[in-house]
A and B are shown apart, each in its own frame.
Chain A
Amino acid sequence: MNEKDKIEILKDILFTDDREFEERISKKVEILERTLNERKKLSRKVHPIIEHELEEFTKSIPQTLGPTITATLKEEIKNHKDEVVDALYPVLGKMVKKYVAQEMKLLSEKIDGQLGFLKRWKRKIKSLFFGISEDQQLLDELSSAKIEQVLLIEKDSGILKAGFTKSKTIDEEMISGMFTAIKSFVEDAFNQRDQELESIEYENYQIHLQSFVTHYIAVVISGNYSLSSKNKLQDLIFDFYHGYMAMNLDLVFETLNAEKTVVPVDRRRLERKLAQSFGNAKI
C-alpha cells in the first residue's frame, strides 16, 4: 500500500457522511426536477394552491373589483340608454302589463265591493225602467271576455277548415296544426283516450277547445273568461256546429240525388258563417 492509497482510505473514512449527504441531496434534486418537468405531477402539487388562491380571489371580488365593475356598468348604461331600454323593454313591458292587469282586476274587485250597494240600486232602477232582469245585468257586467279568433279544425290531421279572426296573427293553418299537436301530446301523455284537452291559458288569452267527433273548434278569448262566458261560448259553438253539420248533411243529400262524389262545404261559406256566429257575439 503506497501513500496515495492510504490517503484515499483516509478520505473514505473522513468523508463518508458528506458523501451520503450529497447523494441524498442529489436524489431530492432529481425528484424535484421530475416534478417540475412532468405536468401531471406538477399540477398535483400546484393545483390545491391555485384552487385555494382562486377561492380567496373569488371571495374578495366584491371588495376588490366590485366598485370598478359597478362604476363601469353605470357609465355604460349612461352612455347607451337607448340600447338598454331596447333590450329591457319587452321583458319589463310584459311584467308591467301583467302587473297592471292584475292590479286593475284587484282594484275593480275592491270598487265593486264598495259600490255594491249603489250598483244594486242602479240595477233595480234599470230593471224597473227597461225591463232587463237584475240577474241579466249582473251577468253582462261581469262578462267582459272577447272572442279574438275562431278556428274550425279537422280533429286528426289538424287541417284548418275555416277561420275567423279579428286581429292579424301568424298563419292560421300553422296555428291549427300546432293546437292539434299540443292537444294530441297532452291526451297521449295522460293516456286518456276518452278525455280531451279543453283549454290552454296564455297570459291574457285563453284558448277554448271544443271537441266533436271529426272536428274541433278552437276559440281564442281575451279578457275575463268566466264560467258564464264559457257557457255562452259553448252555446255559440254548439249552434255553429249544428249548422255546419246541417250544411254537410244537405250536401250529402244533394250528392246522393245527383249521384256525385261528396263535395266538402265551401270554405268561404263556412268563414262567413263563423263571422256571423262569432263576430259580434258577446260572451
Chain B
Amino acid sequence: MQKSKKLVVLGHFGVGKTSLIRRFVSDVFSDNYKVTIGVHITKKVVEISAGNTVSLILWDLEGTDDITTIRNSYLLGTHGAVFVFDVTRPSTFQNLNQDLKVVSEKLPSVPMIVVGNKMDLVDAIDLKTVLGENNIAYDFLSSAKTGDSVEDLFYKMATLLQEDA
C-alpha cells in the first residue's frame, strides 16, 4: 500500500535545497541559481521494499536567513523535514544547533535529517574537522552537483516516515 507523506526541505538562502530536490526527483543539476519564492512542490515515489512504497510530496520552502521567520502555515501537517546547510558558507551552519532547536519547536515529534550540501567544493577531512570543532552534528554530507548521498538521504527519510506511519 502506498502512503503519501509531506516532506519539507528548509534552510538558509542558497544552500542548495532546490538543487538537492531536482537531483533527487529529475536527476539533473544546474549551476544557474534561481531563488525559490514561496514554495515549490514536487513529488517522488520511493520504493522501500518490494511492493512497499512511500510517495514523498516535497515542499521546497524559500530560503531564509532567520529560521524563525518560516511561514508556519507551510509547516502544518508535515510528516518529515530535511534541514540543509552549505558546507562552504559558515554563516549557514554557525548557528545550526539554535536553528535546529527552532525547527524542532515548530515541528515537534517530526523526524528530521540534517544535511551539509556542496560537499564537492571542500576537502572532506578539513570539513569534518571544522564541523567537529563547531559541535555540528549532521546526518549526511551531500553534493547535488555530483549526486553524492542525495538518493541516500531521501531514502533514509522515506524509511523513517514508513516506520512512523
Binding site for B on A (CB under 8 A): 154-160, 171, 173-174, 177-178, 181, 184-185, 187-188
Q: Does B48 contact A (CB under 8 A)?
A: no
| CB-CB under 8 A for A174 and B41, given A159-B57, A160-B4 | yes
Would A173 and B57 count as touching, CB distance under 8 A?
Answer: yes
Binding site for A on B (CB under 8 A): 4-6, 38-39, 41-43, 55, 57, 59, 71-74, 76-79
Bound CA span A154–B4, Å: 11
Bound CA span A225–B38, Å: 29
Cβ-closest chain A residue relative to B59: A177
CB distance from A174 to the nearest CB of B (A): 5
| CB-CB under 8 A for A181 and B38, given A159-B6, A173-B4, A173-B55 | yes
- A-B pair count, CB < 8 Å, reads 53
Report which of A156, A158, A174 forms a contact with B42, defined as CB distance below 8 A: A174
Which 10 A-B residue pairs are closest in the complex by CB-CB distance? A157-B77, A156-B77, A184-B73, A156-B76, A177-B41, A157-B6, A181-B39, A159-B4, A188-B73, A177-B57
Bound CA span A118–B57, Å: 56
CB distance from A205 to the nearest CB of B (A): 19
Report which of A157, A171, A173, A177 forms a contact with B76, defined as CB distance below 8 A: A157
CB distance from B70 to the nearest CB of A (A): 11
Which residues in B have their C-beta under 8 angstroms from that of A160?
A: 4
Bound CA span A53–B74, Å: 56
Bound CA span A140–B82, Å: 52
